[in-house]
Every structure is written in structure tokens, then in C-alpha cells.
Amino acid sequence: MQSSVPRITDDQIIHLVSKLRQLLPEIRQRRSDKVSASKVLQETCNYIKNLHREVDDLSERLSQLLATIDSDSPEAEIIRSLIM
């Protein structure tokens, strides 16, 4: 029984892991290119989790800032546009 979903090739996986490696500051800063694919994937997950935390923290800070200024001010409108 053949699946209709195309399978990803080893070369495609290598290419994608290489792209991820270039995006991750933790790995990019290392001098060695000898980082396993599993380590790259693990670091990618950690990086995404950290980005989510940072977004949540920044949203909270913007909400707090918005609560302290006049809601009709131009600054409040800018903050609302950043939160939405």
C-alpha cells in the first residue's frame, strides 16, 4: 500500500537542518559545524519557547504601560496597535 503523501528525502532533511542551524544564535556562535541534527532540533524548540516567553512578557509590559496613560492619546493608539 503506497501513501499519497510525498516522503521527504535525506537531502531535504539535511538542507532544512542546515537552514535551522543558520537561524539559531546559540549554534551560530559556535566555531564548530559539528552539531547533530537532533541537537539543532532541540535548540530550535528551545529558541521558539524562549521567543514565545519574550512575546508574552513584552505584551504584558505593553498592557501595563497602556493602563498608565490616557486611553485617547496617540501613544495609547500605538500601544494598542502593537498588542493587536
Cα 53 to Cα 55: distance, rounded to the nearest angstrom:
5
Average pLDDT taken over every residue of the chain: 87
Which of 2 and 22 is assigned the larger pLDDT?
Answer: 22
CATH 2.60.40 fits 10-83, yes or no: no
> Residue 1 pLDDT > 60, yes or no?
no
> Residue 33 pLDDT > 90, yes or no?
no
How does residue 9 score in pLDDT terms, banded at 50, 70 and 90?
A: very high
Please report the pLDDT score of residue 34 as a whole number. Answer: 81
Scored b (16 or more CB within 10 A) or e, 45-57 reads eebeeeeeeeeee
Residue 28 has phi, psi (to 5 degrees) of -60, -30
What is the radius of gyration, based on Cα positions, of the chain? Answer: 21
> Residue 57 pLDDT > 70, yes or no?
yes
Residue 40 burial by CB count (10 A; 0-12/13-18/19+): exposed, middle or buried? Answer: buried
Please report the pLDDT score of residue 38 as a whole number. Answer: 93
- Name, in order, each residue with C-beta under 8 angstroms of 17's C-beta and a sequence gap of 6 or more: 37, 40, 41
pTM of the model: 0.69
